[in-house]
Amino acid sequence: MPDTPYAAAAGRVRAGADPAAEAADLVALMTPDERRWCLDGDLPFWAGLDDLGKGGYHRRTFPAAQVDRLGIPGFHFSDGPRGVVIGPATCFPVSMARGATWDVDLEERIGEAIGRELRAVGADLYGGVCVNVLRHPAWGRAQETYGEDPFHIGELGAALTRGVQRHTMACVKHFALNSMENARFSVDVTVDEQALHEVFLPHFRRIVDEGVACVMSAYNAVNGEWCGQSPQLLTEVLRDEWGFTGMVISDWIFGLRDAGPSVAAGLDVEMPYRMVRAGGLDRALAEGETDEADIVAAVRRTVATLLRFAAVLAQPAPRADVLACDAHRALAREAATKSVVLLRNEPVGGTPLLPLDEAALRRLAVVGRLAAIRNLGDGGSSDVWAPDAVTPLDGLRAALPRAEVIHHDGAEPAAAASVAEWCDVAVVVVGYTRADEGEFIGDSGTSHLQELLPGPDDPELVAAFAARVEAGPHYRAPEAVAAAAAGEGPASDPGLGFAQGGDRTSLQLHPDDEALIAAVAAANPRTVVAIVAGSAVVTEAWRQSVPAVVQSWYAGMEGGHALADVLLGRAEPTGRLPFTVPIDEAHLPPFDRDADAVTYDGWHGYWRLARDGNAAAHPFGFGLSYTSLVLGDASVEVGDDGSVLVTTEARNQGSRPGTEVVQVYGGVSGTPPRLVAFARVDVPAGAAVPVQVRVAPGSFARRRVGAGGWVAAGGTHDIVVARHAEDPDARRFAVDLRP
C-alpha cells in the first residue's frame, strides 16, 4: 500500500487500533471541501445518468468518498441480489428461490461466490442484501427478498452477508418498510412501535448484528418522514438502539429530499451522484438545518467502515475468470435444484406422477411461452448479465438425449393440446416475466420528483434524459441494445419486449396461461405445471385439474438443468415455501399499489391466516418430497438463559433420500406462533436422523411500547415442532418462561 495517512491508519487498525478513533484523526486532516466531497457519490449527475442509461450500470462501479490527497480509497458500489450486476457474471436464482432452500450454509457459499465476483469487477460494496418483508405477494420486487417471515429472512440475509464479507463489504436494504413498488417514491407507511420492531425490523437487526458494513435507506416515508432523512430510523433505532457503527447510504437518486435534514438524521452518503446535497447543503448549513459536527460525524462513520474492512479489502482481487466460472455455475445449479418446491404430486395410474419414469418417456411435450426463453428475473437494478442461461426446454432436452422433446409455445392452447396428447408427459411452464413484476421506474412514480434534479449544466444530456422519461418505463438506450446484440449483455427476452415490472395486478396466472393448462391437462392426464414467479400464485382455478405442480422460480442461469433434475428424480425436491399461498387473496392484507399512505399492522403471512382461521392452499414452510418424511417424537428443554432446546428426529420412511426442514414455531399461548428456529437436514432412505434446534434467548421478547427496548418473555408459551406452518402432525408443547 502507498505511504498515505489512510494506509498508515489502516495498518494501525490491522494491529488492533480502534477504527472510529483512527477515522476521527483522518477526518480532522480533511479540508471542509474534502468532507463535503464524502457526503455523496463521486460522479457528476448528468454525465453519470447518461452513462447509466447507456448500460454503464452493468459496466462500471459507482464510487464515493474517495479522497486521493489522504489516500482514502472510498467505496465502489455494485448491485445484486441474484449475482453481480456488472457482467457477464453468474446469475444465481433470485433471493426468493434461495429463501425456499432454507439452506443458510448454501446462502453463505453463494455470498462468498458473489463476493469474489464483485471484487473481480473492481467493486467493493455489494448492494444485494435485500431483506424487506414480503407483506403481500403482489409486491413487484418480491423476488429480491427471502420471504414473509422476519426470522427466516434474517437468517438467510445474515448468511449472505457473512459470505460476501469474507471478500468485501455488504449493504443491506431497503431500510425500512419498502414492501410496495409502484408507489415507492411517494408512499408514507404508518406503523406502530410494536409492529415496526417485532415484524418489520428484526431481520435488519440480525444482519446488523452479523456485522454488515452498510445500510441503504428506503425511498418511502415511515410515520411521516422519508427514510433517507428519518432520525427515528437512522439514528434512534439503527445507531442508538442497535449500536450500528457502519455507514448509511441513500437509495438511488430520489432517496432523500432535503440536504440538511438528511445529514442531521444520520444518512452518510447520498448515492449515486452529486445531487440533492450538492445543490442544497450550503443553504441548509446557513439556515442551521445541519452543521459541521453532523458532517464530521457522517464522514467519520464512512471512513471508519472503510478502515474496519481494510484488511478484507487488502486481499488481492480474484481474476476476471472467476466470473461465471464452473464452480459458481455449479453453485447456481445447486441452489436452483434445492429451491424447487413440489406443491402437488397426485397419482396417475396408481403412482404419483413425479418423478417422471425416464424409462417410459419417449416423447415429452414442453409447453408454454416461458419454456424456451431466458427469464432470469426483473429488469431493474437486480438484472445480472449472465453470459448464457439454460431454459426449461434446454434443461429437459439435455437431460433426455434419447427422448423426443417437443416444444410448443402455447399461443394456441388447442394446438398445444394436440401436441401434448400424443406425448407421454406434458410439462407446462407458466407464470411471469420482468414485464409482470419487478422494479419499476415509471413516469407516474417520479414526475413529481423532477424538481430534485440538479440544474441543467449540460442541456444535451438533460434533453436526452427527458426523451428517455418520455419514452416510458424501462427505456433501453440504443447503446445498451447494441451491447446486448454484440453479446456483451443479454439479448432482451425474445418476444416479450422491454421490461415494465412493478407490483403485480393479480395473484393469479394470466388467463392465457390458465386456458393453456386447462387445454393441455384435458389432452394429457400426465401433465406437470411449473410456475415461474417471484412469490405466491393463487392456483384455485386450475390446481385440481393437474396431477403435479412445482414452483420453479426465476431459477438463475442453470435453472433449466435443475428443473430437469428434479422432474426426472435425479435430484429430490427439497424446497419449502418461504411464504403462504392463500386460497383467496382476501385472506391477505389489503394491497393498493397506488396508495400514497398505508398503515402496516403486524398481521400478514401465515400468522394472519392463523389468527383469522383461514387455511392456506399451501402453507408457509410447505413442500412435498418424493419420499415419505415424518417427524419423530420431540422434547423441549428451557435453558437458564431463556433459550429453548428442541430435540426431535427426522424420519425417512421411504426408499429415496430426502431432506427435512424442521421448523420450530412459538409464542405466548393463545396467539398464533411464529417461526423461531429451523434446520435443514438430509435424511437417507429408511433412516432416522436426530435433530437438535436451539431457539435463541430473547426470541419471545416483546417490544416495550412507549418506553423503548424489550420485555423478556414470561409465562406460558407454545412451542410447536413442525414440518410447516399448518402441520397437522406438529408436536406441541407448553413451556413456562421466566421473565
For ligand BGC, the binding residues (CB under 6 A) are 79, 127, 173, 251-252, 381
| Residues 6+ positions from 184 with CB-CB distance below 8 Å | 178, 218, 219, 220, 445
What is the spatial distance between Cα 509 and Cα 18, in angstroms, rounded to a whole number?
Answer: 55
Q: How far is the CB of 175 from ligand BGC (least distance, A)?
A: 11
Nearer to ligand BGC, 251 or 437 (CB): 251
Contacts of 634 (CB under 8 A, 6+ apart): 646, 647, 648, 649, 721, 731, 733
Of the two residues 251 and 436, which places its CB atom closer to ligand BGC in the complex? 251
For residue 252, the minimal CB distance to ligand BGC (Å) is 4
Q: What's the CA gap between 392 and 374, in Å, rounded?
A: 9
Smallest distance from ligand BGC to CB 259, Å: 20
The CB-of-251 to ligand BGC minimum distance in angstroms stands at 5
Nearer to ligand BGC, 227 or 661 (CB): 227
Residue 229 DSSP class: G
CB 43 to ligand BGC: min, Å = 13
Nearer to ligand BGC, 57 or 626 (CB): 57
Taking the least distance from each CB to ligand BGC, the nearer of 114 and 629 is 114
Name the minimum Å distance from CB 373 to ligand BGC.
Answer: 24
What's the grid cell of residue 254? 430520489
Segments in 200-308 forming alpha helices (H):
202-209, 231, 259-265, 276-286, 292-308
Smallest gap from Cβ 27 to ligand BGC, in A, equals 26
Cα distances (Å, whole numbers) of residue 511 to 506, 514, 539, 553: 11, 5, 12, 19
Residue nearest to ligand BGC (CB): 381
DSSP 474: T
Q: How far apart are CA 400 and CA 497, in angstroms?
A: 31
Q: How far is the CB of 666 from ligand BGC (least distance, A)?
A: 33
Determine whether 424 is exposed, middle or buried from the number of CB atoms within 10 Å of its CB (0-12, 13-18, 19+).
middle
Give the helix/strand (H/E) hosting 339: helix 326-339
The answer to whether 574 and 616 have CB atoms below 8 angstroms apart is no
| Residue nearer to ligand BGC on the CB measure, 229 or 345 | 229
Work out how close the CB of 145 gets to ligand BGC at its nearest, in angstroms, rounded to a whole number. 11
Tell me how far apart the alpha carbons of residues 307 and 15 are, in angstroms, rounded to a whole number. Answer: 12
The whole-angstrom distance between residue 662's C-alpha and the CA centroid of its chain comes to 23
C-beta closer to ligand BGC: residue 501 or 658: 501
User: Closer to ligand BGC at the Cβ: 50 or 79?
Assistant: 79
Query: Which H helix or E strand runs over 126?
Result: strand 125-130
**Residue 227 or 366 having the CB closest to ligand BGC:** 227
Write down the H helix ranges in 340-458. Answer: 392-399, 413-421, 443-446
